[in-house]
Amino acid sequence: MNYNQTLEFLFSSLVSYQEKGPEAYKPGLERITAFCKHLGNPQRNYFTIHVAGTNGKGSVSHMLASVLQQAGYRTGLYTSPHLRDFRERILVDGEMIPKQKVVNFVDKHYDCMKELGLSFFEMSTALAFDYWSMLAARFIAGLPHGAYFGVGAIVATSLAAPGQASRDVCLMVTGMTIANLVGVPLGSFLAWSLSWRATFAVVACAALLLILALRLWMPHVPALPNKGFRAQFRFLGHLTPWLVLGAIGLGNGGSSPATATSIPSWRRSRACPPRS
């Protein structure tokens, strides 16, 4: 489905209070609880402020989000209803959720939403929970990449034979590229087939084994002299690091979108939990 087809499904197939009034009201939390469990309970991965009341909820929510953003916090905002675009309901630092994220979410969890009989509001609430949790996970998962290339380049240069430093750094980058081409699709397939928790567990175990291997077999590398903060970035004045960064950017930028768009077509979703 494309974005317009996805919206058509949401508005025509899921019960909406704005469309049908009181007859659309479904008491109880069983459906949203079961669906959040199906998603891995993403709502538990960050702090939440729940604004309730009769009038002014949207204004108060927007003001709170603005205050938190100005204080330096990455802030998600979920409000209902929307004015022109469904994506107005789900914001992160004032930016609407991308259209493709909405499409991917509905495509992945279509069967479960239908089986549980979710309302329009329950689905959009779960989508907001899941999107914010995914952004937090991606930020945390992206931190080791910078450390990897920095430490890896230092170690490769220190251990290389005279005149072979560039070759060894290239071998390290090649290894990372292979890991992206193999590991990223495999991790995405596991996440779609099982859950992101299972995928994180597998990656964590692999990382622990790698740390142990480095501890056992990595030769001692003497510490580099501290030449100050600005001196750490003088290497950017040469062409070579920019070529390396460009190659890494092209590799990661090509493999990640390809994986994100191809995996959903391989596996729709895992089995939906039964209603309690």
Q: Write the burial class of residue 51 (CB in 10 Å: 0-12 exposed, 13-18 middle, 19+ buried).
A: middle
* Nearest in space to 6 (alpha carbons), one of 98, 77, 100: 100
Residue ranges in the chain assigned as alpha helix (H): 3-13, 17-20, 30-39, 57-70, 99-116, 120-159, 165-193, 196-217, 239-266
pLDDT digits (tens, 9 = 90+) for 95-110: 898 898 899 898 888 8
- Side by side, the strands of the sheet bearing 90-92 are 76-78, 90-92, 95-96
> Mean pLDDT per segment of 10 residues, for the chain of length 276 residues?
86 64 69 89 85 84 88 86 87 88 89 86 87 63 57 69 77 74 71 70 83 78 70 75 68 53 48 48
pLDDT of res. 34: 92
Report how far apart the first and last C-alpha atoms of the chain are (Å, whole number).
30
Residue 206 is encoded by which pair of tokens? 């692999």
Read off the pTM.
0.53
pLDDT digits (tens, 9 = 90+) for 159-213: 777 777 777 777 777 777 777 677 767 776 776 677 667 777 887 888 888 888 8
